[in-house]
Structure 1
Amino acid sequence: MHARILATATIELPDAVVAKVQAQVLKRAPGQTPGEFRAAVRRAIARHDAKTQNEKHRQAAGQRHVRKEHVEDGMGWLTLFAPADGIETVWTAVTTWGTRTSREDQRTADQRRADALVEICTAALAMPGLPAQHGLRPTVNVTLAASTLTGADDQPGYLNGEPVPADIARRVATQPGAKRFYWPVDQTGRLLDTACPHASAASTVPAGPVIDSSLTTDQYQPTVTIARHVITRDQHCIMPGCRRRAHTCELDHRLPWPDGATSAANLEPLCKRHHDLKHHAGWTLTRTPDGTYHWTSATRHHYQYRPPELPVPVPEPPKQTGPDPNDEPPPY
């Protein structure tokens, strides 16, 4: 095992450097575990190949990123690849923030660190001066059926467009103080624009203003209310195959303004590339009443895009007014 660790770590190093690394690590190797030996090899390489390691670090740092992946059971992965000082900063912060403060806290250290990172980022969303898009502060949006919000059913909700179990959707929608918006959907499929935390899961359907597709303004720029509605309704750039999130897109007037109104009915999200395609490459776009977008290319080819369906409340069964025909007569 130790030989494999050493060979793998030094395979691309010059022979002279390999000899120095071996001389430093092998004398203590017999008394070390594989983990201890691997750390010793890293330290030796950093010492004897400092110039190369600096150059490799500069190249690797150019690839730094954060990536997310949604998986089953309403969970997800967040992967951070960053310089070591940044990693240690994040680790120190979440470890310190997640320190157990009472014996009643039965969470594991891993659970406390995970919760701490979410709490730190939640606090960051509340900070002033965050950049806005379309006049909207960065928020986490959850869409759910009004019946799910009240606890009448357990349909999945959609967290920034990703499906999550009903319990998560209700928790996000009713969490006090969160910089979030929740979107109940009525039986007709209309979004009810309601900002947290004005309701609880035990309340009736929240009394937010109905964002109807007829809402309009006489200005070129849409109001925040209209922009939020369009972004939540369509979720992505409406070019088929494009997965650019709607809040990072431009809001296009399907029928150019001022002939076309600045309204939810006449606006759709398009990323810059496909916005330019529509205006400068001879593509045309229409939208049918069921919400389907129909594209026609300059070569007369046709394409369609249908935004993800909104979670509509399940109709309640009709109340029975007479005796149940399945009831057996009393035994007398």
Structure 2
Amino acid sequence: MVASLQEWFDVEDSSHLRRRTRRLLARISPDLLRQRAVRAREASGLRRWVDEPGVDTWLGTFPSEEACTAWAAIDALAQQYLADGVCPRIDRARAKALTDLVTSNATIDVQVVLTTPAGTPDSPPTPSTGAPTDLVEVRGPAAGDPLLVERGWLERAVAATAVTGHDRLGRPWILACDTDTGAPLDPDGDLTTSAYRPSAKLAAFVRARDRHCRFPGCTVAARYCDLDHVRPFPAGPTSAANLACLCRRHHRIKQRPGWRAVLHPDATMTWTDPTGRTRTSHPPDQLHPIALPDTGTDPPPPEPGNPSLVLPDGPHSALEHHLEHADPTTAWSCRVHITRPRVPMTLTALPRHARRHARVTGTPPF
């Protein structure tokens, strides 16, 4: 196999050599290449995590035919955003196009729960005022770092939630929190039950309060944790003041001899191990969010990484699309056509590599 590729080592770059190697493998052992493709397609998926303040990172792999059509739709909408001046860069336009296409094809119900210090009147708290472009800290439904969202978006979500007065689980949209730790509380015991298993509202409350396993240093999300009676039932009630999220491993550790856990009224949790060492687990603070006002001194947006991705006078030409996506040595290629008005283009308006290719091969630029 190496001998078959040796003559191309000094001629082709790595991407062309990789494609040539795959074609050679397809002739030698098509079953091997198919098994690898099938495994890769079955393992495709999408993951999300909180990255820099104010942004999330998505990492996804998709079957080629799904990605081909989806990317064409994203790129077409992104080009329109650039032409309309909605986004200054092609990568930002593609990110916005992706989220807009997803949300436009689904029913999204955003509900907000406001927090207020425990012991205050039941009247709705007054959100701090500011510019719509201010960044305000919120807690998402999943475990992880706090999210930074624009105040304008948050105010619209608050107005929509205030119409119903409850979240989707029927819980009040105003949540009393401890003034020191900022942890949600159930001061009147409204969620307490005499049964061993907590109700859906109580379970959702405890998971939203703890966010993750309450063993010191553990980061397992609350959705994967057991709801443990800190004081065993029935001596300990099934209430928010006696339930904590513990992953299965630390749930079992708590039950071993020598371990002791205490859940305090402010939702802090003290652990004592068999050696007598004591550590404290703190719940996430949901009462004192960070607010970053827009002072008008934001840095300018970064320069595009590759300005040649978008021509100043319109969308890509057929030649540029062919040079970027087509493989001249492959008999079959996937092309997805997006209907756009044709933009007249001269040879000098093309990037340097496109003009050179057109002169060498004689291919017309449009």
| TM-score bucket of the superposed structures, by smaller chain | 0.5 to 0.7
Partner of 1:317: none
Amino acid in the other structure paired with 2:284: P
Q: 1:48 to 1:281 in 2, by over 3 A?
A: farther
Q: Pick one of 68, 72, 78 that aligns with 2:52.
A: 72
User: Using the alignment, how far apart are the partners of 1:266 and 1:282 within structure 2?
Assistant: 20
Query: Cα deviation per residue 1:17-57 (whole Å; 9 max; x = unaligned)?
Result: 1223446x57xx85x77655543444334434535435655
User: Using the alignment, how far apart are the partners of 2:101 and 2:248 within structure 1?
Assistant: 32
CA contact (8 A) 2:55 2:148 kept: no
**1:114-263 pair list within 5 angstroms:** 114-115=95-96, 118=99, 150-152=127-129, 155-159=136-140, 160=142, 161-167=144-150, 170=154, 173-174=157-158, 188-189=178-179, 211-212=186-187, 214-215=189-190, 216-263=192-239
Q: 1:312 to 1:214 in 2, by over 3 A?
A: farther
**1:283-302 pair list within 5 angstroms:** 283-302=259-278
User: Using the alignment, how far apart are the partners of 2:228 and 2:282 within structure 1?
Assistant: 17
User: Using the alignment, how far apart are the partners of 2:202 and 2:58 within structure 1?
Assistant: 31
Displacement after TM superposition at 1:220 (Å): 1.9
What secondary structure is seen at the aligned counterpart in 2 of 1:156?
strand
Q: 1:88 to 1:141 in 2, by over 3 A?
A: farther
Partner of 2:322: none
User: Using the alignment, how far apart are the partners of 1:61 and 1:75 within structure 2?
Assistant: 28
Partner of 1:132: none
Displacement after TM superposition at 1:306 (Å): 0.8
Displacement after TM superposition at 1:75 (Å): 0.8
Structure 1: segments with no counterpart, 5+ residues:
1-16, 128-138, 193-209, 315-332
**1:45-64 pair list within 5 angstroms:** 45-54=25-34, 56=36
Displacement after TM superposition at 1:98 (Å): 7.3
Taking structure 2 as the reference length, the TM-score comes to 0.55
User: Using the alignment, how far apart are the partners of 1:94 and 1:180 within structure 2?
Assistant: 34
Displacement after TM superposition at 1:96 (Å): 3.7
User: Using the alignment, how far apart are the partners of 1:123 and 1:106 within structure 2?
Assistant: 17
Displacement after TM superposition at 1:164 (Å): 2.1
CA contact (8 A) 1:74 1:164 kept: yes
Q: How many residues align?
A: 262
Displacement after TM superposition at 1:275 (Å): 1.2
CA contact (8 A) 2:110 2:157 kept: no
User: Using the alignment, how far apart are the partners of 1:158 and 1:253 within structure 2?
Assistant: 25
**1:23-42 pair list within 5 angstroms:** 35-36=15-16, 38-42=18-22
> More displaced, 245-254 or 55-64?
55-64
User: Using the alignment, how far apart are the partners of 1:183 and 1:244 within structure 2?
Assistant: 26
CA contact (8 A) 2:261 2:270 kept: yes
User: Using the alignment, how far apart are the partners of 2:18 and 2:160 within structure 1?
Assistant: 47
CA contact (8 A) 1:237 1:244 kept: yes
Q: What RMSD over aligned residues (CA atoms) do the two structures have, in Å? A: 4.5
User: Using the alignment, how far apart are the partners of 2:28 and 2:155 within structure 1?
Assistant: 53
Displacement after TM superposition at 1:186 (Å): 5.4
2:270 matched to 1:273?
Answer: no
Amino acid in the other structure paired with 1:163: P
Query: Cα deviation per residue 1:58-84 (whole Å; 9 max; x = unaligned)?
Result: 77678766543322231121223x5xx
CA contact (8 A) 1:253 1:266 kept: yes
Displacement after TM superposition at 1:284 (Å): 1.9
Q: 1:213 to 1:38 in 2, by over 3 A?
A: farther
CA contact (8 A) 1:144 1:157 kept: no
Displacement after TM superposition at 1:165 (Å): 2.1
What secondary structure is seen at the aligned counterpart in 1 of 2:209?
helix
What secondary structure is seen at the aligned counterpart in 1 of 2:202?
helix
User: Using the alignment, how far apart are the partners of 1:173 and 1:186 within structure 2?
Assistant: 20
Amino acid in the other structure paired with 2:148: P
What secondary structure is seen at the aligned counterpart in 2 of 1:217?
coil
Q: 1:63 to 1:291 in 2, by over 3 A?
A: same
Displacement after TM superposition at 1:301 (Å): 3.1
What secondary structure is seen at the aligned counterpart in 2 of 1:263?
coil
Identity %: 28
What secondary structure is seen at the aligned counterpart in 2 of 1:78?
strand
CA contact (8 A) 1:142 1:157 kept: no
Displacement after TM superposition at 1:95 (Å): 4.2
> More displaced, 255-264 or 181-190?
181-190
